[in-house]
Amino acid sequence: MSSEVVFSVLGFPGDVESVLLGRKGVIKGIKSGATVVDMTTSSPALAVRVESSMKSKNVLSIDAPVSGGDIGARTRTLAVMCGGTKEGYDQVFPILRVFASDVEWFGSAGAGQKTKMSNQILIASIMIGTVESLLYAERANLDLKKVITLLSNGAASSWSLSQLGHRMVNEDWEPGFLIKHFIKDIGIALADASQIGLKLKRLELASQFYKEAQKMNFEEKGTQALFQVLRALNKS
């Protein structure tokens, strides 16, 4: 493999392990001096293992998960959270800036993934608050488009409300970010939090709601489909 930089964006930690470290993985053919950038939202511990394995081949490894969804990808306004050596980060920074508006290095291998977990912990609860708010507004016979526009300009403003709220109104459940991937992320966050002695009760409650979506066969839909789940759970 002649590439100087190899990017991977996969679904689950098992995919990362297979594609990067497997029997026919990147590690088998990558050249010495190259850099691997894994942009999958994955396990911090796996990011450490990938770096250790790549180091044996004289290859730098950066964990660089992203936030911003399909909208951020189309508008090149993604946020990228990086972990790994500063040397590796400095090498790939100009490439990351081509499609991301915010790129930051947070420390050693796994730090990018831990930052993404902070992001997902926050979003998990924000999304539930968003769908509860909009379902209330719907049941109160308010104009949802006006509600979203007004709330997006006040203290309740959030990316989930301003970007995904309108998809809910338009009954657009197609994924910008798959529910099944968010369930995966919550699992990683809860496991890593446990490793550092944290009990995240609110995230545990959020996990139950996302798993309810999975039971209703919404796992291949976008996270805005949680609105449908809450509707179903609150049928009058």
> What one-character DSSP code corresponds to residue 178?
B
Taking alpha carbons only, the member of 75, 98, 107, 96 closest to residue 5 is 96
157: alpha, beta or left? (left if phi > 0; alpha if psi -120 to 50): beta
Going 149 to 141 to 205 to 207, the CA torsion angle's sign is: negative
| Residue 58 DSSP SS3 | coil
Interatomic CA distance for residues 47 and 29, integer angstroms: 19
Residue tagged active-site, from 24, 55, 116, 180: 116
* Phi, psi torsion values for 123, nearest 5 degrees: -65, -35
Taking alpha carbons only, the member of 117, 227, 130 closest to residue 182 is 117
Taking alpha carbons only, the member of 55, 42, 33 closest to residue 14 is 42
> In whole angstroms, how large is the CA radius of gyration of the chain?
19
Amino acid at residue number 220: E
Token match 């396990």: residue?
43
Interatomic CA distance for residues 183 and 204, integer angstroms: 11
Whether 180 is a known active-site residue: answer no
Residues identified as active-site: 116
